[in-house]
Amino acid sequence: MTGKVWLVGAGPGDPGLLTLRARRALEQADVVVYDALVGPGVLGMIPDTARLIFAGKRSSHHYMKQSDTNRVLLEEALAGNSVVRLKGGDPFLFGRGGEELELLCQHGVPFEVVPGVTSAFAVPAYCGIPVTHRDCCSSVHVITGHRREGQDYDIDFDALVRTGGTLVFLMGVAALHDIASGLMRAGMSPDMPAAVLEKGTTARQRRISATISTLEDACTAAQVQTPAIIVVGRVCALAEDFKWFERKPLSGVRAVVTRPRELSSGLAEMLRREGAEVLELPAIRTVPIRDKGIDDAVRRLEQGGFDWLVFTSPSGVRVFMDRLIELSDLRALSGVRLAAIGEGSRRALKQYGLRSDFMPTVYDGETLGRELRDVCAPGSRILIPRAAIGNPELIEELRKGPGFDVTDLPTYDTEYARSRTVDVAALLDAGEIDFCVFTSASTVRGFAAGVPDADFTKVNAVCIGRQTAEAARQYGMRVRVAEKAALEALVQCVKDAI
């Protein structure tokens, strides 16, 4: 049976600009064919179940010819796969999307187009440049600055100058001299405001402002790199007043979030609200354990066999509660008191309509065990659903209690994970990662296992607590510890470090 192709625009880099429809297409993809201009934050959203094919192109460096990319899409669809062709920006704006659909049409392969946010408008907006403004212009024009090798430009510079509108040149940095001189020969004033916008919507965003006559020298002095776009027009003069992105507290910061995929979104969103570029690169994954021990614990709960349920992670809450609801219902918790090690576990319980009865003053296993021991009645029956390899300090403290019956129940295994699309070691070596945020010792170990060749002395580790910090120090990382074991405190720790 023939599959289907989704031609998807990934936007200019910021994963927050990926459309909802694009994300849904990624979530149901069997195969993702992606290019070099797709931001790493978007790449991090690709499900682990999807097979990846890199069809990257950047400047003069081509890893796969366009004809080969077209053929791959056809072959994968004919094999019955749901194929996402993921392209930077918008696939129909100088993205050669139409060429990729022609072959599919010839063979009757069904497809859909998911438009993307184009860098032509988004990047200027992030740099404080409105491409239209009533006091400055009445039109905007998007022009490709790319030309075929050995051929002259077919740009009508005279027509462009006559419009009096804002001009946005994509893929034109290498031809900046020809573009600027062509516009001035056509009558544009040498004093016309202009800008080159580098790596827009990312942590490495830069705006080089000048006039059309001085822009080339300014870019040479700034050593501009691609990807970058050129904007020419009076609207460029508004950038200093309208810049907003660079005023955010964490603007210019690229942070890696290492939590499991199902838990990373809250922390990532907090960092993004403060202006950080966030790469969600889970270092671990949780795998529920399905065995007789969990089922027996649920039956014992139903019979009133436990006085306390103690949770040490949001994953522990999720895995156990899902199994409880599958086998029984929340009435099995009648009369049972709930303890949570910290804010994350407390919030996870709240998602099931439950409120924690106890939280320690310090969010770690030793403190939880010691303080909970003091509030439990003698002979308390305590169930602790948690990772198969859990910190022993909690159990050691609780078993000091008078007649306590402590059941340490493994409910999930923790497996190490690594990114399939982002070369983390190369980014670290190039100084392209400012902070790695760790919420557990296992995320530290998983991160290290995923990039064994990395120089960990270059890692600025922001850690949620003492045990996490100790794990980071063992690898030689530079460690900062949040004042409190809470996501908000982690974000503040990043802000304090810059």
* Residues annotated as catalytic (active site), given as ranges: 35, 57
d(CA 231, CA 210): 11
d(CA 210, CA 220): 12
Q: Which two tokens stand for residue 92?
A: 């129909």
Q: What is the CA radius of gyration of the chain?
A: 27
Q: What DSSP string describes 300-343? A: HHHTT--SEEEE-SHHHHHHHHHHHHHHS-GGGGTT-EEEESSH
* Whether 487 contacts 438, CB under 8 Å: no
> How would you classify residue 354: left for phi > 0, otherwise alpha for psi between -120 and 50, otherwise beta?
beta
* CA of residue 366 relative to chain centroid, distance: 33
Give the CB-side neighbour count of residue 19, counting CA atoms within 13 A: 19
d(CA 24, CA 373): 47
d(CA 12, CA 4): 25
H or E element: which one contains 86? strand 82-87
d(CA 145, CA 178): 10
Q: What residues contact residue 207 under an 8 Å CB cut-off, 6+ apart?
A: 127, 128, 129, 195, 196, 197, 198, 239, 243
Q: Is 13 exposed, middle or buried (CB count within 10 Å of its CB: 0-12, 13-18, 19+)?
A: buried
